[in-house]
Structure 1
Amino acid sequence: MDSNSFFEKIQEQYKAELPFVVFSRSINNTIKCWLQKDDELRLTDTFSESGYVFSPFDLNQSSVVFPAEHSEQLIIKADFGVPSNLPEDKMALEDSETYMQLIEKAIHSMKTSEMTKVVLSRSEDIERPKTSIFRLYKRLLAKYKNAMVYCWYHPKVGLWMGATPELLFKVEGAQLTTISLAGTRKSDVETSIDWTPKELEEQQIVTDYISEQIASFTSSKSISKTETVKAGHLLHLKTRILARVQSNRAELKPIIEALHPTPAVCGFPRELAQEFILKNENYKREYYTGFLGEMNIKTRSERNRNRRNVENSAYASYGLNSYLYVNLRCMKIDDNHIKIYVGGGITEASEPLAEWEETVNKSQTLKSVIY
């Protein structure tokens, strides 16, 4: 199947108002889609199904799943192309006062409570252009070559699109891999940068939290050195954490409950930060800062690839692999409007104006793809 027939198939699915998701995995240079064969809305809170899951920020709300047995899957080699010379949006100030007041309230709360970090977000509504959603998706692919770029649709939920650089976790057999990602800088030049103490502190909070959360059900844990990575025109701090799950089959629900929401999208301590967010952000995040991806996908691996060893090669093992990503840099699209979601981590050392400007930087790439 070539790229044209691949996207034609997805367009037919969309015109028929049937659920689908198309997404990239830059790690293996492929684009894949799941096409659900009916329009039934299937929900899960066990995460035991084999399928594609789309989960909200608040796990008290159910997640949507496209089950493998009710879906067709297609995959092609990715052709990410070259991004167009798209205009960058100028900094909009109309919402800055409200957002900075929220930041000041959070800083005051941290001075009088045990909360040390909270991630505050905002949404911005813009007019939807006449450009097709698949053209927008291909633009995102070109702009975010190192991210997981997706377009997800269910007629009973809506259309979401985004480009996330953040893995929540992946499980391959008993091997668990997760990352901590924090800090944001605009990458004006391709040189090394000096991160501030505030940014390094924010990153360390995320790394320490994740390490502690998975300690009770994993072993053989290793933590990489923190590095600077690029996503679009932004730079982030990233640390990789690897561990082995202490069971033959890793159940996803305990891992999800341990890791989601991470300090990178919620704050620390998690309970206090989430309470502050739900009480003070004054809008519903819905699926923004939730997670999405394939879960419990059966994968076959050979014990011995020596073709002459017929007896041993007959012993193939099967594992369940899952790849879940945090839903960042995303937008919700309807017939006439696009809602963009952005946010940033707040600590006592935060400067409200600088934090506002960080959210503007994050929204610029999405806007430049839209227009």
Structure 2
Amino acid sequence: MDVFFESIQQQFDKNFPFVIYNKPNSDKIIAFLSLDDSLSFNEKLDKKGFVFAPFDGDDFIFFDEQNSEIIKKASFNFDESLTEFIDILPSNNVKTFHINLVEKGVEAIKLNQFSKVVLSRKESVPANQSDFISYFKKLIQTYKSAFCYCFYHPKVGMWLGATPEQLVKINENIISTVALAGTQLFIENQKVTWGDKEKEEQLFVTQFIEESLKPFVKNITKTKPFTAQAGNLLHIKTDVSAEIKSEVMLSDIVLALHPTPALCGLPKKEAKEFIIKNEGYNRKFYSGFLGEINKDFENNEDNKSDIFVNLRCMELEKEIANLFIGGGITKDSVPENEFIETINKSKTIKKILG
């Protein structure tokens, strides 16, 4: 083990918090090693550091650069072996619960309670927390175009993920974000076509972003929807950018966008209430957000933020990995198909547990 990962292992062995991450298509890994075991928060998002926030609530866990040792590793080339994960299909009870959940969601949409809701399930599979460094390396070598991370706090737990979805990127007064929705498996040399359900779902996300940003920005521009690959999955994506108005705070923008329709639904308040009442488990940090705020720590440049949505993630306990998988539900959703989609999505994380 090299010096960089030895430092991470020592931090874990001391029960001290840390976060390691690799930005999309970057050749650098960055780590925040907390100088003590305190649990800090930054609801205003007004300091320089790394934020790790839940789906619900404003307990935004924070690694302050002033209370962390920040180390970096450049020019890495991992060669972790990827053995096949021996997967077991979810039980009939799990399948029935999720299908019934989707049916409830579709019915609520038809009753005009909301136009879209994202419904998920939790799946627990065998894993070893002691192998977290190997899992992290596998994430990076498998999902180079994703934001890959490993977060640990003794008072919170350990989380790893490879998320393809940016919540917001800020460079001085320019904001960039993406509208991402719709999912299908990537198949080599097969022409990609999208159905009306996926196109409508992605349009909802784009419209939500535009409307949410309007009070805080000017000169909004966006691309036409296009197909983007994330691991073994394809999504419909639109890039959105704008100029931030003066006096607008980072927290104004983040709270306007979070949680996005891609992880919650529309309207946001009603969809979120339905999720919390009906999903049957606590999402915790799944579909929250995480990333650098107010500084680009890779290049040591101030006034930059790089924040991602926490999906394609897992909570890693001693001998179990809790996976979180969901999908966007509209009036045209077919419950059986939605359940199959969660199985396909679970392969993203299961692939690195082998």
Task: Tell me which residue corresponds to 2:271.
Answer: 273
Q: 1:25 and 1:298, CA in 2 relative to 1: closer, same or farther beyond 3 A?
A: closer
1:80: Cα distance to partner? 5.1
1:29 deviates by 2.6
Is the partner of 1:277 in helix, strand or coil? helix
Shift of 1:336: 2.1
State how 1:95-174 maps to structure 2 within 5 Å.
95-129=94-128, 132-174=131-173
Query: Residue 213 of structure 2 aligns to which amino acid in structure 1?
Result: I
Residue in structure 2 matched with residue 264 of structure 1 by the alignment: 262
Per the alignment, residue 15 of structure 2 pairs with 17
Tell me which of 322, 326, 330 is aligned to 2:305. Answer: 322
Q: CA deviation at 1:130?
A: 7.2
Q: Do the aligned residues in 1 keep the contact of 2:82 with 2:138 (CA within 8 Å)?
A: no
CA 1:130–1:113: 2 relative to 1, 3 Å: closer
The answer as to whether partners of 2:49 and 2:292 remain within 8 angstroms in 1 is: yes
Q: Partner of 2:96: helix, strand, or coil?
A: helix
- The alignment status of 1:210 with 2:209, answered yes or no, reads yes
Measure the CA separation in 1 of the matches of 2:133 and 2:302. Answer: 33
Cα displacement (A) at 1:139 = 1.0
Whether the 8 Å contact between 1:23 and 1:33 is mirrored in structure 2 is yes
Q: Which protein shows a greater Rg?
A: 1
Q: How far did 1:50 drift?
A: 1.2
Read off the aligned partner of 1:358 and give its amino acid letter.
E
Q: CA deviation at 1:369?
A: 1.1
1:72 aligns with 2:69: yes
Q: How does 1:199-238 map to 2 (within 5 A)?
A: 199-238=198-237
Maintained 8 Å contact 1:119/1:263 = yes
- Aligned residues: percent identity? 38
Q: Aligned to 1:189, what secondary structure does the other structure show?
A: coil
CA contact (8 A) 1:80 1:141 kept: no
Alpha-carbon contact 1:180-1:210 (below 8 Å) kept: yes
CA-atom RMSD in angstroms: 2.0
Is the 2:129–2:319 contact (alpha carbons within 8 Å) kept by the matching residues of 1? no
Gaps of 5+ in 2: none
Aligned partners of 1:356, 1:93: CA distance in 2, in Å?
12
Classify the secondary structure of the residue corresponding to 1:276: helix
Query: Match for residue 284 of structure 2?
Result: 286
Shift of 1:221: 1.2
Rounded to whole Å, the distance in 1 between the matches of 2:336 and 2:159 is: 29
Task: Give 2:31's aligned residue.
Answer: 33
Using the TM superposition, name which of 69-78 and 210-219 deviates more: 69-78
1:357 CA displacement:
0.8
**For 2:294, what is the secondary structure of its paired residue?**
strand
What is the match of residue 321 of structure 2? 338
The secondary structure found in structure 2 opposite 1:284 is coil
Of the three residues 40, 48, 51, the one matched with 1:50 is: 48
Counterparts of 2:77 and 2:61 in 1: how far apart (Å)? Answer: 28
Partner SS state of residue 44, structure 1? coil
Give me the whole-angstrom Cα distance separating, in 2, the residues matched to 1:153 and 1:295.
18
Normalising by structure 2, we get a TM-score of 0.94
Deviation at 1:26, TM superposition (A): 2.3
Q: What TM-score, normalized to structure 1?
A: 0.90
Residue pair 1:228, 1:236 contacting (<8 A) in 2 also: yes
Quick one: which of 3, 6, 10 aligns to 1:8? Answer: 6
